[in-house]
Structure 1
Amino acid sequence: MAKAPDFPSRLLRGYSTFREQRLPQESSRYKVLAETGQRPRTMIVGCSDSRAAPETIFDAAPGELFVVRNVAALVPPFTPDGEHHGTSAAIEFGVLSLKVRDLVVMGHGRCGGITGYLAARDAPPDLKGHTDFVGKWISLLKPAEALICEDPAETADRQRAMEFASIRQTIANLRTFPWIRSLEEIGELELHGAWFDISTAELYLLDKETGRFTVPEEIEV
């Protein structure tokens, strides 16, 4: 194989390992996916953080998950204003074209987007600073503050409390999309919340009845 000039060597080494170790096990699956297209059952809205890759956490095979990642795993409310909406476009494609049945919003611990929001919120006006895009994006978190549960296990850690609340808010924003709301009402789409603890690798799930996040006692396989 000819050397790719100026391409990160770490990626080339990873690709070589993929070719030697994983591809022989997955080659037939790739061929089927190329011929028939993707048909994932699950879509995940996750954070861009390099420590929280859904495909790794859920040990997913090629074609199994349709993933959109952005800063803090956010989804803006339904706003068909003719502007550029990358996250909303991905959700529209996953739900209406791929017809996923499960849509998971997955946050994680030590999220830089949440940290940045809390820092900017608490900073004096003359120290808030300026960004071209990030500040506007994470302002989507403001309504989530009203969704922090009055539970000592949650409010004792304001970072985690905000990370949990952000997932609740993002699910609420997803329900402003009329076709998501209608599909959920007829049972053809289900919304889920999850939070991954980077330090312990524990997965917390949102209980739809209580609105609390808990680690499941048993994991069915």
Structure 2
Amino acid sequence: MDYARPLPTYLVHRFHGWKATSYTENQAWYRHLAQQGQHPRAMVISCCDSRVHVTSIFGADQGEFFIHRNIANLVPPYVTDGAQHGTSAAVEFAVTALKVAHLIVIGHSACGGVKGCQQMCAGHAPELEEQTSFVGRWLDILRPGYERVKDMDDEAAQLKALEKQAVMVSLENLMSFPFVEAAVASGELTLHGLWHEIGSGSLEQYSASQGAFVPL
């Protein structure tokens, strides 16, 4: 496997800096995590976007969140077709094995994945329509959300609304998983939908009683 290369020097330096400071100062905690295993209270499904850093947003420590990231923070519907389903597998593990108490889906502003879905559904991204496009076929999950906002005239407002639809569609799809539905019904699991505005640092949560996202 001679195509695997050494890490860039700047990452090596950062690792040694972490090992000499954060790790050294918290060795007992890291050893506890290694020996006792993980017992996170919440699973977070967020976007791959490098600007969205949920552990920083919530000031979380190692071992606190079980995090799964994918393009546009999407959860597909429950399907058992023998294919490989990374997001579904992560949800299953979190709910049935780790027994998380909370499952949080967090979307964000200026989401490139959601923008791609908007363009694809409007017929402006033929490359995403290709059956060979992994991104396009993944973004098909969000098509029901696009149908709800497609009649909005303002493109920027439509994009923001679609970013929030990515959260709503994911929450709806989560409830199609029998083990999620059962855990919610028994009170062992709660679902939460959030939307993060990167520039202002603000956070909104979906309110079922108001049927809308409201500021925290």
TM-score normalised by structure 2 residue count: 0.89
Contact 1:147–1:168 (8 Å) recurs in 2 = no
Structure 1: distance between partners of 2:156 and 2:198: 18
CA pair 147-171 structure 1, distance change in 2 beyond 3 A? farther
Paired position in structure 1 for 2:119: 119
Q: How does 1:43-122 map to 2 (within 5 A)?
A: 43-122=43-122
- Give the conservation status (yes or no) of the 8 Å contact 1:147–1:169: no
Paired amino acid for 1:135: G
Following TM superposition, by how much is the alpha carbon of 1:157 offset from its aligned partner in structure 2, in angstroms? 1.0
Partner deviation per Cα, 1:135-163 (whole Å, 9 max, x = no partner):
00001101113555x99xx9971111000
The TM-score with structure 1 as length reference comes to: 0.87
Q: Is 129-138 or 106-115 further displaced after alignment?
A: 129-138
Q: Is the 8 A contact 2:119 2:125 kept in 1?
A: no
Give the distance between the partners of 2:100 and 2:67, measured in 1 at CA: 11
Spell out the pairing of 1:122-161 with structure 2 (5 A cutoff). 122-123=122-123, 130=130, 131-148=132-149, 157-161=157-161
Moved more, 85-94 or 16-25: 16-25
Q: Cα distance, 1:208 vs. partner? A: 2.1
Query: For structure 2, which runs of at least 5 residues remain unmatched after alignment?
Result: none
* Alignment root-mean-square deviation, CA: 2.3
| Cα distance, 1:58 vs structure 2 | 1.6
Amino acid in the other structure paired with 2:144: P
Distance 1:128 1:39, change over 3 A: closer
Give me the whole-angstrom Cα distance separating, in 1, the residues matched to 2:77 and 2:177.
7
SS at match of 1:203: strand
Percent identity between the aligned chains?
35
1:136 aligned partner, one-letter code: R
Give me the whole-angstrom Cα distance separating, in 1, the residues matched to 2:64 and 2:27: 15
Question: In the alignment, residue 6 of structure 2 is paired with which amino acid?
Answer: D
| 2:109 and 2:195 in contact (8 A); partners too | yes
1:8 paired to 2:13: no
Count of residues in Structure 1 that have an aligned counterpart in Structure 2: 210
Cα distance in 2 for residues equivalent to 1:6 and 1:86:
27
Structure 2 residue 192 is matched with structure 1 residue 192:
yes
| SS of residue matched to 1:157 | helix
- Tell me, yes or no, if the aligned pair for 1:109 and 1:160 is still in contact at 8 Å: yes
CA deviation string 1:91-120 (max 9, x = no partner):
100110000000000111100100111112
Q: 1-side partners of 2:126 and 2:183: how far apart? A: 46
